Chains A and B, each alone.
Chain A
Amino acid sequence: MLSVFLEVLRRDLLLAWRNRADVLVTLAFFTIVACLFPFGVGAEPNLLRTIAPGVLWVAALLATLLSLHRLFAQDHTDGVLEQLLLSPEPPVLWVLAKVLAHWLTTAVPLIVAAPALALLFDMTQSATMVLVLSLLLGTPILSLLGGVGAALTLGLRGGGMLLALLVLPLFVPILIFGAGAVDADLAGTGAAAHLMLLGGGSLAALALAPWASAAALRIAVE
């Protein structure tokens, strides 16, 4: 049972390593989107400090969205998905492995890069800490829910835009609590409640989303 999980995880990480340009592109996108905002709203430091949590969270969300279509597409075209579905192993396991690989290769680089971007927006040290924590707890939900969307739109014409339409409304609560955590820290009310809600959301998504993804994949491949 566990061996499938580890095998798929290893394979996906290896593939990601071979196509590491993709990971870098996602990271570059994240950085550029975040850097666009000062040009748009002006470089007034107080204003930048205020919008920073929201900007960084929106940028992370869009960067994740951009990478989602890769989650199952490769395996779909070369038939690996079909084989995995035919195997006796429960699909939830390897779906989870693939989502974990996606999170490790897209979200983790973003989280590592976030403090550097926080510097550009002159965020305080504690706010940056909270931002990183909120990203750590919130981005798994993006990958898990996004996986459902990616599975539903697998192989469809114009799948990328459709995927955005499907998952972006579902991402709104994560954005609210993620950016809200940093805001709460800045306001001095403490971010614990927000972070706990994000963590709870991650656990709930972990329990439910892989089943939906697996069901959607089965439909897509049938």
Chain B
Amino acid sequence: METGQRFSLFRYAAPQQFYPLAGRLAPWFAAAAVVFTLIGLYLGFFVAPTDAVQGEVYRVIFIHVPAAWMSMFVYLIMAFWSAVGIVFNTRLSAMMAQALAPTGAMFCFVALWTGALWGRPTWGAYWVWDARLTSQLLLLFLYFGFMALTRAIEDPRRADKAGAILALVGAINVPIIYFSVKWWNTLHQGASVSLTKAPSMATTMLMAMLVMALAAWAYTIAVVLWRVRPLILERERHTEWVGDVLETSEARA
């Protein structure tokens, strides 16, 4: 190993270096996710008090909010990797973007689902055309679009680049969509439903939510690393190092 390269992060931009690193790191993140989830659930269900206004149903918040945050972060990270892929022409970044998309879509759906189940007892309807809910739904469609496009293109290089362009176009549009929907919402809806009014949260509630958010981060990192590994193998199947990997995993199996 050359000394100049030792501290370079770019070294891990090479699929050959990243593949074993991902394999080593993923279990740790998965373990962290399990630990954080257990702590978060304990805090959320046994330490955080009953909400004075909403009763017990507010406990949905401990997955709803982290899932909603995660779905947005994941899209941003996808856009970031796409930009990196376009600027530096690295293969790995497109693979990361494609490995991120299904998890982002999953969290997006979870946020919508838990939002609906929380909404029914709290404001009397599973769905209201609130700005946040609506932009969350559109974000889910953006995820579906990205996944459909990258899967519809057979040539992986074209799929990578087309996906990157779409992710960037989408990322530019996400804030526009959010503000337009918010504008539309304030015009069309009376003051009957207000989601923006932050409920006064006890510190323990906030703690539980933050720990669950950490769990969501750790889970996302673990699952994305696991998903990107076979992607790397497929893309690099003609190289020697993938041959070695296949031989050794055969010996183990």
Contact = CB atoms under 8 A, between A and B. Distances in A.
Interface of A: 145, 148, 152-153, 156-159, 162, 165-166, 168-170, 172-173, 176-177, 180, 183-184, 201, 208, 212, 215-216, 219-220, 222
Interface of B: 138, 141-142, 144-145, 148-149, 152-153, 157-158, 161-162, 165-166, 168-170, 172-173, 176-177, 180-181, 183-184, 187
Given A152-B162, A152-B166, A219-B158, A157 B152 contact: yes
A215 B149 CA distance: 16
B180 A176 contact: yes
Contacts of A166: 145, 148-149, 166
11 contacts: A162-B148, A162-B149, A165-B141, A169-B138, A169-B141, A169-B173, A176-B183, A184-B187, A208-B172, A212-B169, A219-B165
Contact of B138 (A152, A172, A212): A172
Given A152-B165, A162-B145, A222-B157, 9 more contacts: A156-B153, A170-B173, A170-B177, A172-B177, A173-B177, A176-B180, A201-B176, A212-B165, A220-B162
Contact of A153 (B149, B157, B170): B149
Given A172-B138, A172-B177, A216 B165 contact: yes
Contacts of A159: 152
Nearest to A164: B145
Given A176-B183, A180-B184, A152 B173 contact: no
Contacts of A183: 187
A201 B183 CA distance: 15
A35 B172 CA distance: 35
Contact of B170 (A158, A170, A176, A184): A170
Contact of B162 (A172, A177, A201, A216): A216
Nearest to A213: B165
B169 A162 contact: no
Given A156-B152, A176-B180, A180-B184, A148 B165 contact: yes
A170 B180 CA distance: 11
Contacts of A172: 138, 177, 180-181
Q: Which of A148, A156, A158, A222 has the most CB of B within 10 A?
A: A156
A173 B180 contact: yes
Given A148-B165, A153-B149, A176 B181 contact: yes
| Nearest 8 A/B pairs, CB to CB | A173-B180, A169-B141, A176-B184, A219-B161, A166-B145, A176-B180, A169-B138, A165-B145
Contacts of B141: 165, 168-169
For the residues of A in contact with B, the DSSP-based class is: helix
A186 B161 CA distance: 45
Contacts of B180: 172-173, 176-177
Contacts of A222: 157-158
Nearest to A201: B176
A153 B153 CA distance: 8
Contacts of B168: 212
Contacts of B166: 152, 166
Contact of B165 (A162, A169, A215): A215
Nearest to A158: B152
Nearest to A219: B161
B158 A169 contact: no
Contacts of A212: 165, 168-169
A220 B155 CA distance: 10
Contacts of A180: 183-184, 187
A214 B160 CA distance: 16
B152 A162 contact: yes
B13 to A, nearest CB: 21
Contacts of B145: 162, 165-166, 169
B179 to A, nearest CB: 8
Given A148-B165, A216-B165, A169 B149 contact: no
